[in-house]
Amino acid sequence: MLSIEQITQEALSLPNPLKVLLVEKLIESLEFDIDEAVQAA
């Protein structure tokens, strides 16, 4: 298994469009259910 340092180095070596895709995927993985009333506000 890769260390966080190795993963970071690999991620930083990606071309910018792939970095953006990776960031989007990571953010999606952190999202959680948001109350619809709060989201509508």
- pTM of whole model > 0.85? no
Please check whether residue 31 is in contact with residue 24, taking contact to mean a CB–CB distance below 8 angstroms. no
Give the C-alpha distances (Å, rounded to integers) separating 10 from 30, 34, 37: 21, 32, 40
Average pLDDT estimate for 9-27: 96
Task: Of 31, 12, 32, give the one whose Cα is nearest residue 22.
Answer: 12
For residues 8 and 17, what is the distance between their CA atoms, to the nearest angstrom?
A: 16
And the tokens for 8?
A: 């970071």
What's the domain range around 9?
A: 4-40
Average pLDDT for the chain: 88
In this predicted structure, the answer to whether residue 33 has a pLDDT above a threshold of 70 is no
- Provide the number of structural domains found in the chain: 1
